[in-house]
Every structure is written in structure tokens, then in C-alpha cells.
Amino acid sequence: MNLKKTLLSVLMILQLCLLVGCDYIEKASKVDDLVTQQELQKSKIEALEKQQ
């Protein structure tokens, strides 16, 4: 009985860690996309400033 509780607790903790890890990876990916967009916009602004 005690072994079942221990195994169940370990499984619950592993699932929680997996979900949190997936959220972190997704957020990191979005941040990388935003940084890329920001750099692109910055280069476009610099090109427009050179034209003026």
C-alpha cells in the first residue's frame, strides 16, 4: 500500500515536471521569434534612415 502511494507520487511529480518543461520550451521559442522579428525591423529602420 505504501509502495503504491510512493509510485503514484513519483508519477504525479514527473508529469508536472514534463508539463512545466513543455511550457518553458514553448515560451523560449516565442521569445526567439520575437527577437528575430525585432532585429528584422531594426534593419529595415536603419535602411530607411540611410535613404533619407
Tell which residue, 51, 11, 19, has the closest CA to residue 3. 11
Q: Is residue 29 part of a domain?
A: yes
Binning pLDDT at 50, 70 and 90, where does residue 29 land?
confident
The separation between CA 41 and the C-alpha centre of its own chain, rounded to angstroms, equals 22
Counted domains in the chain = 1
Q: How many CB atoms lie within 10 A of CB 42?
A: 10
Q: Is residue 50 part of a domain?
A: yes
Confidence at residue 33, expressed as pLDDT on a 0 to 100 scale: 92
pLDDT at 22 over 80: no
Binning pLDDT at 50, 70 and 90, where does residue 52 land?
confident
Q: Is the pTM of this model over 0.75?
A: no
Q: Is residue 31 part of a domain?
A: yes
Task: State how far the Cα of 23 lies from the Cα of 33, in Å rounded to an integer.
Answer: 15
Confidence at residue 23, expressed as pLDDT on a 0 to 100 scale: 75
Q: Is residue 14 part of a domain?
A: no
